[in-house]
Amino acid sequence: MDQEQGDEAGGDGETEPPRDELPDFETYAAVRWPRLLRTAYLLTNGDHHEAEDLVQVTLAKIYLRWSHIRTLDAPDQYVRRALINNNTTRQRKRRVVQLLTPHLPEQRNPIGDADRPDSYDTRSELFDALATLPPRQRAIVVLRYWECLSEQQTAHLLGCSVGTVKSQASRALKKLRSSAVLSEYAAVMTRGE
Amino acid sequence: MKPDLSPQPPKPHLRRLLDEAVTDCVPPAFPREGIVRRAAAIRRRRRLTAVTVAALLLIPVAGKLALDQGAPSSPTVSSADTPTPVSSASSETGDAPSPVRVVRPGERIDVGLGMWYLLKEREYCPKHQLDPEPSCVGPLDVDQPGVPMTLDWYPFPQGVVSVFAYTGKTPATRITMTQHGRTTLLPIVRLPGRPSFVSSYAISTPVSEKERKRLIRPVDGPVFRVYGADGAELAEMRQ
């Protein structure tokens, strides 16, 4: 049900958006673009190209149903849901992931500033840790702890129960805590405060 | 259970970490043209998919319609549509006449369960799967003594196929099969210009394995009756 709504935005009752709706959609999408891109960036484990592609596809589907979506009370929620569902679909369809890079990834600096972990390392490890999460758990982490949605909002957006959100969030945090740099970072930041 | 205190971030450290992580992500200019182009591509793809699915669904239907229209390809005139094989499960009928199919000599008449037969001037020739060629029964004549009916039956696990011919002086207009108290209307298949030499076929309920293997005449086999235009019974034969 939810998958259908978000992923196949534009599936049922798809009509050609009137030309005069394009400026309206453009205004909406241009304002939301940076935020959506950052959300997608977290959902795609820091892959900028993948994130941009994901948001573009999502907005293209939204554009096809804009005449309906613009009348909704909470179009943002619909768009977020479409983004998450599209990401899930992409992950499901992808069979082989190939990351071609001309450089070897930089090693973590073992003699860096002990009090302040290197931000590159931290980000890198954060994305590594996020990559270990299943798409749904990752979406819950992003929605709850970055978008700051409530458990009810997250549950409504993902089309699941609040209990599911709680349990999935708990499991996701448990996994993230097992990442060394995240534990260190949390400890350092707590000391700094 | 702790109440949810959102929008206060429940894990400030994680929030800070995620915030730092997305600082790398510098959004490029809003790709208006790219989005509109992709929307058009998605729309095209969906329409193509819809058309393909519709075509795939309609091709068998259209083919069946074309076959149905092409089926009475016999140059002779038929007074009714091609009758379908009638089984014992068919509904009971009143006094309605049997549907008539007029065929050319040698034209194949499908019965079901792999059986078919053909009509010749004075013969009917059932063809079993195991037989290399149709085995003809005849010559049949209106002057033959006894019951003017000749019947062949072939037991299969799915049912018993009966193929029979009526050669009476009075033309038959209605043929029925009665089994277990149920009467089923059967089709009439005949040659052009030969109303007194008619054939028919039916599939009745299966017989027991013993009866089938030994080709024993079934105890409660169907009874076939032939009626004339005035409703009078012209002939009766038990399987």
Listed in sequence order, the DSSP H helices in B75-218 are 209-214
* Chain B residues closer than 8 Å to A144 by CB: 6, 10
Long-range contacts of A104-113 (CB under 8 A, 24+ apart): A108/A181
Residue A104 included in any domain? no
With 70 as the cut, is the pLDDT of residue B74 above it?
no
Residue A42 included in any domain? yes
Question: Which chain A residues in 9-38 lie under 8 Å from chain B, judged by CB atoms?
Answer: 10-11, 14, 16, 22, 26, 29-30, 33-34, 37-38
What interhelical angle do A151-158 and A162-177 show, nearest 10? 100
Residues A51 and A123 in one domain: no
Closest residue by Cα to residue B164 from B131, B133, B187: B187
Residues A79 and A131 in one domain: no
Domain that holds residue A155: 119-192
The size of chain A, in residues, is 193
**B151 strand-pairing partners:** B164
Do B35 and A41 make contact, defined as CB atoms within 8 angstroms? no
The whole-angstrom separation of Cα A55 and Cα A51 is 6
Q: Does A172 touch chain B (CB under 8 A)?
A: no
The whole-angstrom separation of Cα A8 and Cα B19 is 30
A96 Cα to chain B: minimum distance (Å): 23
Closest residue by Cα to residue A149 from A80, A70, A86, A69: A80
Residues A78 and A33 in one domain: yes
* Chain A residues closer than 8 Å to B15 by CB: 145-146, 148
> CATH number of the domain that A165 lies in?
1.10.10.10
Q: What is the pLDDT of residue A52?
A: 93
Q: Which of B6, B18, B24 sits opposite A151 (nearest CB)?
A: B6
Residues A74 and A138 in one domain: no
User: Residue A2 belongs to what H/E stretch?
Assistant: helix A2-7
β-strand pairing of B174-179 with B182-186: antiparallel
Q: Which of A29, A52, A127 sits opposite B21 (nearest CB)?
A: A127
Residue A103 included in any domain? no
Residues A128 and A87 in one domain: no
Residues A77 and A139 in one domain: no
**Residue B46 CA to its chain's centroid (Å):** 35
Structure tokens at A158: 């993902």
B70 Cα to chain A: minimum distance (Å): 39
With 70 as the cut, is the pLDDT of residue B113 above it?
yes
Do A123 and B18 make contact, defined as CB atoms within 8 angstroms? no
Q: What is the pLDDT of residue A119?
A: 61
Residues A137 and A82 in one domain: no
Q: What is the pLDDT of residue B75?
A: 37
Residue A188 included in any domain? yes
Q: Which of B19, B27, B32 sits opposite A26 (nearest CB)?
A: B32
> What's A23's DSSP letter?
H
Contact B238, B221 (CB under 8 A): yes
Q: Which of A56, A75, A93 is the last residue of a domain?
A: A93
Residues A85 and A145 in one domain: no
Do A37 and B27 make contact, defined as CB atoms within 8 angstroms? yes
Q: Which of A93, A110, A127 is the last residue of a domain?
A: A93
Number of domains in chain A: 2
Q: Which of B21, B32, B38 sits opposite A57 (nearest CB)?
A: B38
**Interface residue ranges in chain B relative to chain A, Cβ cutoff 8 Å:** 4, 6-11, 13-22, 24-25, 27-28, 30-32, 34-36, 38-39, 41-43, 46
Sign of CA dihedral B39, A7, B21, A106: negative
Residues A12 and A79 in one domain: yes
Residue A52 included in any domain? yes
Structure tokens at B208: 């027991």
B1 Cα to chain A: minimum distance (Å): 11
The whole-angstrom separation of Cα B66 and Cα B99 is 22
Q: What is the pLDDT of residue A59?
A: 94
Residue A111 included in any domain? no
Residue A79 included in any domain? yes
Q: What is the pLDDT of residue B7?
A: 42
Other CB atoms within 10 A of residue A63 CB: 27
Q: What is the pLDDT of residue A54?
A: 93
Instruction: Please give the share of chain B, as a percent, with pLDDT higher than 90.
Output: 10
Residue found by looking up tokens 């206060």 in the block: B8
Contacts of A79 (CB under 8 A, 6+ apart): A32, A36, A58, A59, A62, A69
With 50 as the cut, is the pLDDT of residue B186 above it?
yes
* Chain A residues closer than 8 Å to B2 by CB: none
* Chain B residues closer than 8 Å to A151 by CB: 4, 6
Q: Which of A42, A77, A93 is the last residue of a domain?
A: A93
With 90 as the cut, is the pLDDT of residue B51 above it?
yes
Residues A85 and A13 in one domain: yes
- Per-residue pLDDT band for B72 (boundaries 50, 70, 90) equals very low
Residue A112 included in any domain? no
Q: Does A138 touch chain B (CB under 8 A)?
A: no
Structure tokens at B100: 């008539």
Contact B4, A150 (CB under 8 A): yes
Residues A20 and A82 in one domain: yes
Q: What is the pLDDT of residue B82?
A: 40
- What pLDDT, in 10s, does the model give residues B26-46? 888 889 889 999 999 999 999
Q: What is the pLDDT along chain A (193 residues), one digit of tens a residue?
A: 344 444 444 333 444 555 555 568 888 899 999 999 999 999 998 888 889 999 999 999 999 998 888 888 888 889 999 999 999 888 877 655 555 565 555 555 554 454 555 566 677 888 888 888 888 899 999 999 888 889 999 998 888 999 999 999 989 888 888 776 666 665 555 554 4
Residues A55 and A127 in one domain: no
Q: What domains appear along chain B, each with residue ranges and CATH number?
A: 1-70 (no CATH), 100-238 (2.60.40)
Q: Which of B4, B24, B30 sits opposite A150 (nearest CB)?
A: B4
- What pLDDT, in 10s, does the model give residues B118-165? 988 888 899 888 888 888 887 777 676 666 888 888 888 888 888 888
* Chain B residues closer than 8 Å to A23 by CB: none
